[in-house]
Amino acid sequence: MPIYEYRCPKCGERFEKFVRSISAQTEVVCPRCGNTEVEKAVSLFAGLTGGSGRASSGASCSTGGSL
């Protein structure tokens, strides 16, 4: 089940919604103000890397030093 992130242009609320199917026509309602004209937001996500159990977003936080 995909999780989509939305933003309400009326009140600025950001929220997530579980969607059973990508093709399903589900009405999304802002939980704060009830607006039905919400926008899909671009979200960042992290994936697990093999073995270490640490999340990685693809960006490096390294300052150039060796590990």
Stretch 43-55: mean pLDDT: 59
Number of domains in the chain: 1
Buried b (16+ CB within 10 A) or exposed e, 23-56: eeeeebbbeeeeeeebeeeeeeeeeeeeeeeeee
Q: What is the CATH number of the domain that holds 39?
A: 2.20.28
Residue 6 lies in a domain: yes
What's the chain's average pLDDT? Answer: 76
Residue 37: pLDDT band (50, 70, 90) is very high
Domain carrying residue 30: 1-44
What is the reported pTM?
0.57
Residue 62 lies in a domain: no
For residue 42, the model assigns a pLDDT of 77
- Check whether 26 has a pLDDT greater than 70: yes
Q: How many CB atoms lie within 10 A of CB 8?
A: 22
The burial of 19, by beta-carbon neighbours within 10 Å (0-12 exposed, 13-18 middle, 19 or more buried), is given as: middle
